[in-house]
Chain A
Amino acid sequence: MLTIKGLNVHYGGIHALRGIDLEVADGHIISLIGANGAGKSTTLKSIMGLVAKTSGQILWNDKDITNIPTKEVVKQGIVLCPEGRRVFPDLTVEENLRIGAYLRNDKDGIQKDKEWVYELFPRMKEREWQLAGTLSGGEQQMLAVGRALMSKPKLLMLDEPSLGLAPLVIKDIFAIIKQIKDAGVNVLLIEQNAKAALEISDYAYVMETGKITMSGVGKELMNDERVKKAYLGE
């Protein structure tokens, strides 16, 4: 279980996160929705230790991980699938997956997880030897998710997995996110596509200019008038 208490982050003079409180319970998909610049990506990056924090605390299963280096965060079982896919274009699909397992030493486990990823994304198996840069956008997103799964995470954080993808592909990806949760991985999801995100999430937070303004069970938030007006376009 991940708990964030009163997290503050500054980018130079800009107060990007203003005292965030957030919780990711086990066995749940949690989503974080909000407009551009609300601080969603910053929240994920600060969990990973990719940005410096001003104050606040991040607890992972009651252990303080606020100021440990990224490498240790990954070792603890938290992984980020960054925004805009960011696969390694000049490495093959297979090499991309192996980088995902970079901090692991168990050969058999890695092989097993690779097969699991290929099961989730059969397309990746077909393209095992292809350079990742030559994949289509949807395939690259699948590879990015697969690569993140290769670190055997207990918490998978996805930053805008639907960005720039066709509606049909988005549907596929969200179906797979559900499958991942069913396999016992907690998911923290950031989305601008609020409808799709709220539909699959167990609990959701709404962020506005660095603060969490609302939270609730996914399906309930979908019926909230304010959310409807601001994010669902109704």
Chain B
Amino acid sequence: MTGILVIAETRNGTIHKTTREAAGAAMELSRRRSVPAAALLLTETQLAGELGALGFSTVYTVEGERYGKYNSESYTAAAAHAARQCSANIILMGATGMGRDLTARLAARLNGALASDVIRIHYDSDPVSVVRPVYSGKLLAEVELPGSPRIISLRPNVFEPASPSGQQAQVVRLDPDTASIRAQVKQAIQAAQGVLDVTEADIIVSGGRGVGGPEGFGVIRDLAQVLNAAVGASRAAVDSDWIPYKHQVGQTGKVVSPVLYIACGISGAIQHFAGMGSSRFIIAVNKDPDAPIMNKADFAIVGDLFKVVPVLKEELIKILN
């Protein structure tokens, strides 16, 4: 077992960024260990050429309705089949929702070692060792993987994506065993924009007393929409009836821990902080440089939120497109 396999994800006719990142890591491993790297493409197989051009020697594809939407059973069967085809010793994937689910089941199917949400790979170590955050990111664990194969999911936005080369990959269509599927996807529910609940959103844009009134939440909502974020609020804003209670974040509201929390016009007293202090990153926009939130934020902007937030939105639109 020597090969490297990347399991690809696509979205709306494009190869997902995390797949390009996994390809980047795969190419690095491939180069250093002089082993071939293959990719498995389960959806939108018309992208096989583009995927192959990232440096893969082989792109495996599958066809059929059962691959239309992510299904752990059919996908696991296909991935295991591909892994055997290329004698994969290392299997990489982006640590997306699907990636984390599929790698888990695959690891058990292949009786291998699993490392999820990896932020660093020691490419030259033997056996492969990786670094992943543990204890809510309070520590980093260097993990060695004596088991085989090694199934690794990579934290998004960390690895350098592979850039397209002129290389042409061999496209091989697989016909994996079709075990019975017991868990069927009935429907995909897309979260409607702007109505995300604060407890489930990865990004929250929150407004407080500084927002000044119900109409002040307009700029907050605009920014939230651009970021596909939920709209939060401090108790003061909710008590003033500017926004309904379900948006309230804090000791007496919802307790949230998003990846990014943008606090606009919120002083950030303990009653609010207790509800969002475990956010991974905090950006604060406040006129008052002495507001408690400014001390606690990773990035604090001293200024009028009505001037700063719209610009922030425009800048984000630029970079996101």
Q: Do A and B come from one complex?
A: no
A-binding residues in B (CB < 8 A): none
B-binding residues in A (CB < 8 A): none
